[in-house]
């Protein structure tokens, strides 16, 4: 159980920090993210947290990269993580997403899993990523959007 909790925290930090630093809360980067951001704002959430959440849904950003990187690293080791990174990069181009958050998420989690493999089995990172994504997209949109906004403000991505 401890391995799953640690993997979840690591995955959450991995994709939230990468997506924040690469500007997801700043503005909608792909089609559909604006609509989701405005909908979350209409229920009392924060527009910047909503943009973050919308960008995650509409294009393979660091959360998707973290999940795919975890799966492929579990299945094939470092080579699998690199394949996942390429798949996410292609997915970004197909979505007309000019960013690299998803690719960076896949690469970073591949490195993290490889380093931590003696301590935490790679399989825990798959479940950990799913749980981390659920805390942002599945529990409570209003509060999650405000948390994401505060993190973005802390990193000086938004005002």
Q: How far apart are CA 83 and CA 72, in angstroms?
A: 7
Give the tokens for residue 32.
């559909």
SS3 (DSSP) at 24:
coil
Domain ranges of the chain: 2-154
Work out the average pLDDT over 17-34: 89
What would the pLDDT profile of 45-98 be if each residue is shown by its tens digit? 999 999 999 988 888 899 999 999 999 999 999 999 999 999 999 998 888 887
Total-model pTM: 0.93
- 145-155 confidence digits (pLDDT tens): 999 999 999 99
Could you give the CA distance from residue 27 to residue 152 in angstroms, rounded to a whole number?
Answer: 12
**Secondary structure class of 31 (helix, strand, coil):** coil
Residue 96 has which token pair? 């007309």
Phi, psi of 27 (to 5 degrees): -165, 160
How far is the C-alpha of 99 from the C-alpha of 14, rounded, in Å? 16
Taken in order 117, 81, 132, 102, is the CA torsion positive or negative?
positive
């Amino acid at each position: 159980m401890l391995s799953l909790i640690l993997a979840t925290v690591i995955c959450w930090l991995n994709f939230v920090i990468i997506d924040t630093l690469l500007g997801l809360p700043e503005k909608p980067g792909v089609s559909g993210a604006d609509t989701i951001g405005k909908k979350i704002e209409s229920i009392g959430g924060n527009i910047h947290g909503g943009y973050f959440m919308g960008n995650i849904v509409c294009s393979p950003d660091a959360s998707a990269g973290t999940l795919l990187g975890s799966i492929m690293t579990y299945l094939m080791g470092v080579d699998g993580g690199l394949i996942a990174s390429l798949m996410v990069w292609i997915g970004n181009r197909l979505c007309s997403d000019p960013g690299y958050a998803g690719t960076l998420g896949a690469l970073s989690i591949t490195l993290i899993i490889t380093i931590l493999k003696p301590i935490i089995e790679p399989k825990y990172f798959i479940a950990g990523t799913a749980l981390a994504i659920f805390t942002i997209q599945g529990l409570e949109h209003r509060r999650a959007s405000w948390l994401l906004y505060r993190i973005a403000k802390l990193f000086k991505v938004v005002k």
